[in-house]
């Protein structure tokens, strides 16, 4: 993902950090959670509020430029107000003269990008995604209509699932501003977002709209269901502008993914999200949920949701392997006792 980004990974904070280190007078670094194109994300302990948080370190170039830093803070101030259970909460900007980071809610889980790679054939099936889809639509709808903030970098790597199986959208409102700041500083052609999930309008550098997020959501789901985004090799820019992606069923056939068939409802809705003309896309995330006939999260029976999630979680692999170990142990002991009893039978005096 990093190299698809505008902004260079080499520009990330150069200062060396180690676990246990105390930073900015209140955070203790615990371990690295991951790396993105802009820098490293650490798990840390906020000693003042006694809670775990995630610290996303900003590129050094941004820290060194007070003007850009204050613009970034101003642009992202509104994302600090996003309060939704399915959106990763941004807490604060913290920095000194050498380094700086965005502190945010820690998600004890994995990204959908990562979870997809753990699936057989490296794809999800629509039923795996349904609970998360309705949470995503609800959160997007809240951000677009109530908070009036667009994400502009929606992608599987920014969709996380916590241990309780709840979906959390990360980097809301900050990915774009970070990308813009970096492209300004590096004078690279400015377009914030990740190429393969970008709408034709975003690619052309047009003013952002919530319909860019609708496109990116479509491109993300296309990838989650087929293992690749709609356009992934060759001249991607041009294909995003001009080509119609094959249906997901065609793509799955091409990759020998069984079952190849993706239900018509999903095909039609995702294809509509990927329309070149924003006016032809579903006009809101709520409309996507309606088209996919998603019940609202409240309408779903909690037990079913948690059960469904239990089997979707990466952790479920571990449960499943524990269960299969238990079953194997049972079978072995049954076989052993059968052998023993048959041996006993043979040995027993007649
Ligand atoms: N709030 C968080 N809680 C827990 N882990 C996180 C959090 N935010 C990010 N991560 C982890 O850090 C990794 C890197 O995140 P980051 O946002 O820097 O990169 P990205 O979204 O993959 O790519 P990009 O460079 O385009 O932003 C993620 O893949 C995830 O594993
Ligand atoms: Mg991210």
Active-site residues: which are they? 153
314 C-beta closer than 6 A to ligand 1: no
> How much is the pLDDT for 66?
85
For ligand 1, is residue 35 a contact (CB within 6 Å)? yes
Report whether residue 37 contacts ligand 1, using a CB cutoff of 6 Å: yes
Q: What is the pLDDT of residue 86?
A: 98
What local confidence, expressed as pLDDT, does residue 305 receive? 53
pLDDT digits (tens, 9 = 90+) for 72-94: 888 888 889 899 999 999 999 99
Check for a shared fold between 22-105 and 109-330: no
Which residue stretches of the chain have pLDDT < 50? 1-12, 302-304, 306-307, 310-311, 313-350
**Residue to mutate, 8, 157, 179, 202, ligand 1, most ligand atoms under 8 Å from C-beta:** 157
User: Whose Cα sits closest to atom 13 in ligand 1?
Assistant: 34
The CATH superfamily of 22-105 is Phosphorylase Kinase; domain 1 (3.30.200.20)
* Shortest-distance Cα residue to atom 27 of ligand 1: 36
Burial 157-194 (b: 16+ CB within 10 A, else e): bbbbbbeebbbbbbbbbbbbbbbbbbbebeeeeebbbb
Q: Per the confidence metrics, is the pTM higher than 0.75? A: yes
Atom of ligand 1 nearest to the CA of 175: 27
- Residue 164 has a pLDDT of 97
pLDDT at 68: 85
109-330 fold = Transferase(Phosphotransferase); domain 1 (1.10.510)
Nearest atom in ligand 1 to the alpha carbon of residue 88 is 1
| pLDDT value for 6 | 36
| Atom 18 of ligand 1: nearest residue by CA position | 36
Q: Is the CB of 34 under 6 A from ligand 1?
A: yes
For the chain, which residues make up each domain, given as ranges?
A: 22-105, 109-330
User: In this structure, which long-range contacts are made by residues 301-310, counting pairs with CB atoms below 8 Å and at least 24 apart in sequence?
Assistant: 305/131, 305/165, 306/164, 306/165, 308/127, 308/130, 308/131, 308/165, 309/131, 309/161, 309/164, 309/165, 309/166, 310/165
1 within ligand 1 shell (Cβ under 6 A)? yes
């Amino acid at each position: 993902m990093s190299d698809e980004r505008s902004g260079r990974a080499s520009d990330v904070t150069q200062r060396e950090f180690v676990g246990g280190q105390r930073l900015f007078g209140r955070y203790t670094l615990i371990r690295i959670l991951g790396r993105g194109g802009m820098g490293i994300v650490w798990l840390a302990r906020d000693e003042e509020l006694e809670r775990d948080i995630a610290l996303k370190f900003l590129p050094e170039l941004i820290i060194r430029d007070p003007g850009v830093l204050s613009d970034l803070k101003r642009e992202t101030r509104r994302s600090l107000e996003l309060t939704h259970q399915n959106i990763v909460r941004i807490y604060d900007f913290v920095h000194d003269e050498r380094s700086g980071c965005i502190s945010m809610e820690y998600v004890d889980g994995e990204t959908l990008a990562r979870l997809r790679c753990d699936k057989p054939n490296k794809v999800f099936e629509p039923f795996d995604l349904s609970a998360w889809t309705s949470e995503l639509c609800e959160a997007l709808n809240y951000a677009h209509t109530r908070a009036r903030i667009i994400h502009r970098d929606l992608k599987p790597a920014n969709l996380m699932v916590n241990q309780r199986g709840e979906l959390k959208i990360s980097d809301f409102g900050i990915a774009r501003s970070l990308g813009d700041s970096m492209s300004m500083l590096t004078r690279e052609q400015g377009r914030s977002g990740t190429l393969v999930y970008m709408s034709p309008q975003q690619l052309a550098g047009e003013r952002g709209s919530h319909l860019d997020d609708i496109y990116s959501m479509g491109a993300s789901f296309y990838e989650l269901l087929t293992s690749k985004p709609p356009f992934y090799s060759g001249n991607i820019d041009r294909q995003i502008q001009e080509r119609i992606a094959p249906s997901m069923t065609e793509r799955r056939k091409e990759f020998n993914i069984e079952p190849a068939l993706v239900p018509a409802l999903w095909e039609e809705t995702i294809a509509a999200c990927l329309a070149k003309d924003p006016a032809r896309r579903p006009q809101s995330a709520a409309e996507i949920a309606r088209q996919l006939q998603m019940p609202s999260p409240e309408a779903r029976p909690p037990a079913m949701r948690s059960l469904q999630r239990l089997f979707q979680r990466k952790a479920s692999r571990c449960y499943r392997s524990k269960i299969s170990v238990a079953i194997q142990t049972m079978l072995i002991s049954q076989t052993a006792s059968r052998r023993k009893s048959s041996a006993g039978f043979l040995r027993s005096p007649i």
